[in-house]
Amino acid sequence: MLKIENLQARIEEKEILRGINLDIKPGEVHAIMGPNGSGKSTLASVLAGREDYEVTGGSVDFLGKDLLELSPEDRAKEGLFLAFQYPVEIPGVSTTNFMKTALNEKRKYHGLDPLDAAQFLKLMKEKMKLVQIDQALLSRSLNEGFSGGEKKRNEIFQMAMLEPKLAILDETDSGLDIDALRIVANGVNQLRSKDNSFLVVTHYQRLLEYIVPDYVHVLYKGRIVKSGTKDLALELEERGYDFIKEEVDQAIA
């Protein structure tokens, strides 16, 4: 599905990713954890194609294509989805109109006819249930005046609509109360299948109680310094990141 080799990236003069290696196979859920500033969100942004970051080395293969050569929109059309840590508020664009545009552009890219209004509405109603999101919310300006929980649910709703092959959840748990977290996690779990994969970026283990990962990786100073199963997340929860920092810093010294 996704194969990252020695990926390096920087913003302005600052090196943030210093050689990431990661292999995600269909059906797998990988979690990326790490302390603040370790490069987790940068990794998510680089994969989605944010142009603020300059890729200085390495390669990313996504379903046989060179991901780094694709524009952000083509990555999305190929089946990559980023659930934003901070979903953007866009006054004047309704979620409905936005999703219809996105979905039909994707369909066109794959040689499919656009959905008509009735088909689109039917699909939307079906996916709305998944994240318990209200139609009234979707008719409003995109994310404008939404609560933190509503914004995150809207991200998962969009993911459900676009049916990506690989979804990257960037700190989707941040700012969520436990009920919202359950709804979001439940939405994700219903979308899990043997064909699609998830990359869950999080600071805390909490989300991983609900979205149980197959693998957990710890990112520190722009590298994956430790990988394991879901037990690693529990260990981190218990001991904090300090023991990992010490291990790595000693190794470097």
Partner 1 sequence: MKSNLKTAYSQQEGNSTHLASFQTENWKTFSGMGIPALKHEEWKYIPVKNIFKDEMNIAIESSNLEDTIIKKSILPGTEEANTIVFFNGRFQADHSIIHEKDALVVKSLETAAGDEDALFVEEHLGHSQAYHPDGVNALNGAFASGGAFIKLKKGKSLLQPLIIYHFSDSSNGFRFSQPRILASIEANAQITIVETYINIGGGESFTNEVIEICTGRDSITRYIKLQNEGKHSNHTGTTHVRQLERSNTHAVTITLDGAIVRNNLNMVMEDEHAESHMYGLYLLNGNTIADNHTIVDNRMPHCESNELYKGIMDDQSTGVFNGKIFVRKDSQKTNAYQSNKNILIGDQASANTKPQLEIFADDVKCSHGCTIGKLDEDALFYLRARGISEKNAKALLLQAFASDILGQIEHEAIKNYIEQLISERLSFQA
Is 187 near partner 1 (CB under 8 A)? no
At closest approach, how far in Å is the CB of 142 from partner 1?
8
Of residues 226, 192, 194, the one with CA closest to residue 212: 192
Strands 29-33 and 215-220: parallel
Tell me: does residue 93 bind partner 1 (CB under 8 A). Answer: yes
In the complex, the smallest distance separating the C-beta of residue 35 from partner 1, rounded to whole angstroms, is 25
CB 252 within 8 A of CB 221: no
Our finding on whether 119 is near partner 1 (CB under 8 A) is no
The smaller minimum CB distance to partner 1, of residues 64 and 92, is found at 92
Complex with partner 1: residue 75 or 223, whichever CB lies closer: 75
Distance, C-alpha 106 to centroid of its chain: 18
Closer CB to partner 1, residue 72 or residue 240? 72
Residues numbered 124-183 forming contacts with partner 1, rule: CB under 8 A: 141, 158, 162
Contact between 105 and partner 1 by CB under 8 A: the answer reads: yes
Which of 13, 36, 64, 92 forms a contact with partner 1 (CB under 8 A)?
92
- Residues that bind partner 1 (rule: CB under 8 A) add up to a total of 31
Q: What residues have CB less than 8 Å from 121, skipping those under 6 apart?
A: none
CB 166, CB 62: distance < 8 Å = yes
Query: Minimum distance from CB of 30 to partner 1 (Å)?
Result: 20
Q: Which stretch binds partner 1 (CB under 8 A): 58-66, 79-87, 175-183, 239-247?
A: 79-87
Q: Minimal distance in Å, beta carbon 193 to partner 1? A: 20
Residue 240 Cβ, how far from partner 1 at the closest point, in Å? Answer: 32
Angle at 74 between CA 90 and CA 128, to 5 degrees: 50
Give yes or no for residue 84 binding partner 1 (CB under 8 A): yes
For partner 1, which residue of 13, 88, 111, 118 counts as binding (CB under 8 A)?
Answer: 88
| Site map 40..69 versus partner 1, x via CB under 8 A | --------xxxx------------------
Distance, CA of 213 to CA of 198 (rounded, Å): 9
Q: Does 72 bind partner 1 (CB under 8 A)?
A: yes
Residues at the contact surface with partner 1, assessed by CB under 8 A: 48-51, 71-73, 75-77, 82, 84, 87-88, 90-93, 97-99, 101-102, 104-106, 109, 114, 141, 158, 162
